């Protein structure tokens, strides 16, 4: 019998996994029940699934995951209400295909937030209200991503999303979620300044979600620590929302198999990372892995096709050296 991951970290933070509804049975379900106490829908709660056409709502996949979390005394993260990706074009266009006005877009956004959050009211611990809204290269936009949301509504879509989400479910924790926050100093600073400004204006943001798609070499532990130090000074909750650790340092590498050497290196790095998270467990309330085991990871197709072996369980769902280094810290 092996130790339970969630039990080992019970005094520190929740341990989550991203799942597809078809992973809630068999061996995968056994692992989820034993080791995890938080779930995120990997895809089925994104706008393109929940509202593929205006006014046509589909909560089937999300409901399956929600029911599983309730049956197994887990919490659930809601991912995600407002994003530039996996969102249908109809949000931004009129019947002729022209961009809609700010008023129309914000109405559609509020309606999506309202229908979705009402459906899941009381069942979601934390919502990723907005996802990936920061892009350091865009100078003219003050570091905000120049998405259709931004082009039509400017920064107001972000503010309105939080204000409305808070109205619909005041009990849910509301997150701003993004990638590269643990690695990119520019992105770290933009997020810090943005959240600070929004909090000053009274916008109801409860926390910052750091995706955490990292690799075997970078970012360094000290770079990650700078982000945790800076963000924790804001006094908001922090969550690691999409952790995985690719064995590749760049896009050109590709290994035929997961060698013993790689397994050891990955285990060493995972142990240092969880140790760091533990140091910040006054602020960090949830550490979610973006998948259960190496048999299913989005990285297999992104950014290039190859096996990345990024998680704590292997392709046959056996605990990897990384798992052992995380549950038995040295
Ligand atoms: C990914 C899913 O894992 C894939 O299955 C899907 O094809 C694309 O989206 N950042 C996010 C997640 O916020 O929603 C993404 O999930 C991974 C990157």
d(CA 177, CA 172): 15
- Which candidate in 197, 242, 260, 261 is catalytic? 242
Q: How far is the CA of 229 from the centre of ligand 1 (A)?
A: 27
d(CA 315, CA 293): 6
- Under a CB-based contact definition with an 8 Å cutoff, are residues 15 and 9 in contact? yes
Q: How far is the CA of 42 from the centre of ligand 1 (A)?
A: 6
- For residue 232, the cross-strand partners are none
- For residue 237, the cross-strand partners are 207
Q: Whose CA is closest to atom 17 on ligand 1?
A: 298
- CB under 8 Å to 24, separation ≥6 — which residues? 32, 64, 65, 68
- Under a CB-based contact definition with an 8 Å cutoff, are residues 180 and 171 in contact? no
Q: Whose CA is closest to atom 9 on ligand 1?
A: 43
Q: How far is the CA of 297 from the centre of ligand 1 (A)?
A: 10
Q: Which residues of 103-134 are buried (b: 16+ CB within 10 A; e: fewer)?
A: eebbebbbebbeebbeebeebbbbbbbbbbbb
The ipTM estimated for the assembled molecules is 0.99
Is 93 designated active site? no
Q: For residue 213, give the H/E element and its range.
A: strand 213-215
Complete domains list, the chain, with CATH:
5-327 (3.20.20.80)
Atom of ligand 1 nearest to the CA of 301: 7
Is 132 designated active site? yes
Atom of ligand 1 nearest to the CA of 20: 5
d(CA 244, CA 223): 17
φ/ψ of residue 231, rounded to 5: -70, -35
Q: Report the C-alpha dihedral over residues 179, 182, 184, 190, rounded to 10 degrees.
A: 70
Tell me 98's DSSP state.
P
Radius of gyration of the chain (CA): 19
40, 177, 290, best to mutate for ligand 1 pocket (most atoms within 8 Å of CB): 290
* pLDDT tens-place values along the chain, 330 residues long: 899 999 999 999 999 999 999 999 999 999 999 999 999 999 999 999 999 999 999 999 999 999 999 999 999 999 999 999 999 999 999 999 999 999 999 999 999 999 999 999 999 999 999 999 999 986 789 999 999 999 999 999 999 999 999 999 999 999 999 999 999 999 999 999 999 999 999 999 999 999 999 999 999 999 999 999 999 999 999 999 999 999 999 999 999 999 999 999 999 999 999 999 999 999 999 999 999 999 999 999 999 999 999 999 999 999 999 999 999 976
């Amino acid at each position: 019998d092996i130790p339970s991951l969630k039990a080992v970290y019970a005094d520190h933070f929740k341990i989550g996994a991203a799942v597809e509804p078809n992973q809630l049975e068999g061996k995968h379900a056994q692992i989820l029940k034993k080791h995890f106490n938080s779930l995120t829908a990997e895809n089925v709660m994104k706008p393109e699934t929940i509202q593929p056409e205006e006014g046509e709502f589909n909560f089937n996949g999300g409901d399956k995951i929600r029911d599983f979390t309730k049956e197994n005394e887990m919490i659930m993260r809601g991912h995600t209400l407002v994003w530039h990706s996996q969102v249908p074009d109809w949000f931004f266009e009129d019947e002729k295909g022209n961009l809609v006005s700010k008023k129309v877009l914000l109405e559609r956004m509020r309606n999506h937030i309202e229908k979705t959050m009402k459906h899941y009211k009381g069942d979601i611990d934390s919502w990723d209200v907005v996802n990936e809204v920061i892009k350091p290269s865009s100078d003219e936009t003050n570091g905000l991503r120049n998405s259709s949301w931004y082009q039509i509504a400017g920064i107001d879509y972000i503010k309105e999303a939080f204000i409305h989400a808070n109205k619909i479910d005041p009990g849910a924790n509301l997150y701003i979620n993004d990638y590269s926050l643990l690695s990119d100093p520019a992105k770290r600073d933009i997020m810090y300044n943005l959240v600070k400004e929004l909090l000053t204006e009274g916008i109801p943001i409860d926390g910052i979600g750091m995706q955490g798609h990292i690799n075997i070499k970078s970012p360094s532990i000290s770079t990650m620590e700078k982000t945790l130090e800076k963000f924790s000074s804001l006094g908001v909750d922090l969550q690691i929302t999409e952790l995985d650790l690719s064995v590749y340092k760049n896009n050109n590498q590709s290994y035929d198999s997961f060698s013993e050497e790689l397994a050891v290196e990955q285990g060493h790095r995972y142990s240092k990372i969880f140790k760091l998270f533990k140091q910040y467990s006054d602020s960090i309330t949830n550490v979610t892995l973006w998948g259960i085991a190496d048999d299913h990871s989005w990285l297999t197709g992104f950014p290039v096709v190859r096996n990345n072996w990024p998680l704590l369980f292997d392709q046959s769902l056996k605990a990897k050296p990384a798992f052992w280094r995380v549950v038995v810290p040295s």
